[in-house]
Homo-oligomer: A and B are copies of this chain.
Amino acid sequence: MKLSEAKHQFISSWGAYGSNWGINRTMAQIHALLLISPMPITQDDIMEELNVSRGNVNMNIRELINWGLVQRVIVPGERKEFFSAEKDIWRVVTQIMKERKKRELEPMLKLMDTLEAVEGDKKDKHVKAFVDTVSNIKKTGRHADKMLDTLIRAEESWFISALTKIIK
């Protein structure tokens, strides 16, 4: 397979996977393009490579920066802004976990605290089922939260080998 074809497939698949994760196609494609770029590139490069409008590139780059996956790079002597992505995929993964934990898991656990305090007779099966579900979500959520903290902090190889050892 030729490089150009392989690149194309990579970008297009990365875009498709993104949509299963609440990420829009263009954003995922920009990320893919940056991942395989040996040097930082500009908005114009991205526009040309992916055939999308300036506004679209601008919005999605900004969002990638919010997620901590892409950085603005100053190239001396150049007036344009350049962009580059974190290349270590494990760090990409932990960065995403960190953000999603903050944006989704933590607020959800807060909500569950509120909902757990529902009024009503705990012997009523509807009340009981509700409270049980909410408590169970809290419990599982807290566990997930701890696990994610551990994962995020741990060095990859270290973690895997430790994990594999205790599992064996």
Partner-B contacts on A (CB < 8 A): 1-3, 6-7, 9-10, 13, 17, 19-22, 35-39, 87-90, 93, 100, 104, 108, 111, 114-115, 117-120, 125-130, 132-134, 136-137, 139-141, 143-144, 146-147, 150, 154, 156, 160, 162-164, 166-167
In the bound assembly, the distance between CA atoms of A154 and B168 in angstroms comes to 12
A136 nearest CB across to chain B (Å): 5
A-B contacts, 22 of them at CB < 8 A, read: A2-B118, A2-B119, A2-B120, A3-B120, A9-B111, A13-B108, A17-B104, A17-B108, A19-B22, A20-B104, A35-B133, A36-B126, A37-B129, A38-B125, A38-B128, A89-B137, A89-B139, A93-B140, A140-B156, A143-B160, A150-B167, A163-B163
Asked if residues A6 and B130 are in contact (CB atoms below 8 Å), the reply is yes
Instruction: Check if B88 sits within 8 Å of A1, measured CB to CB.
Output: no
Please name all residues of chain B whose beta carbon is closer than 8 Å to the beta carbon of A132 when the two chains form the complex. 87
When distances are taken between beta carbons in the complex, the residues of chain B under 8 Å from A126 are 3, 36, 38
**Contact, CB under 8 Å: B6 / A115:** yes
A38 CB to nearest chain B CB (Å): 4
Interface residues of A, dominant DSSP: helix
Complex formed: what's the CA distance from A156 to B16 in Å?
32
Provide the bound-state CA to CA distance between A22 and B22, in Å: 5
Which chain B positions have C-beta within 8 A of A87? 132-133, 136
Contacts of A147 in B (CB 8 A): 160, 163
- Interface pair A134/B10, CB less than 8 Å apart: yes
B13 touches A111 (CB 8 A): yes
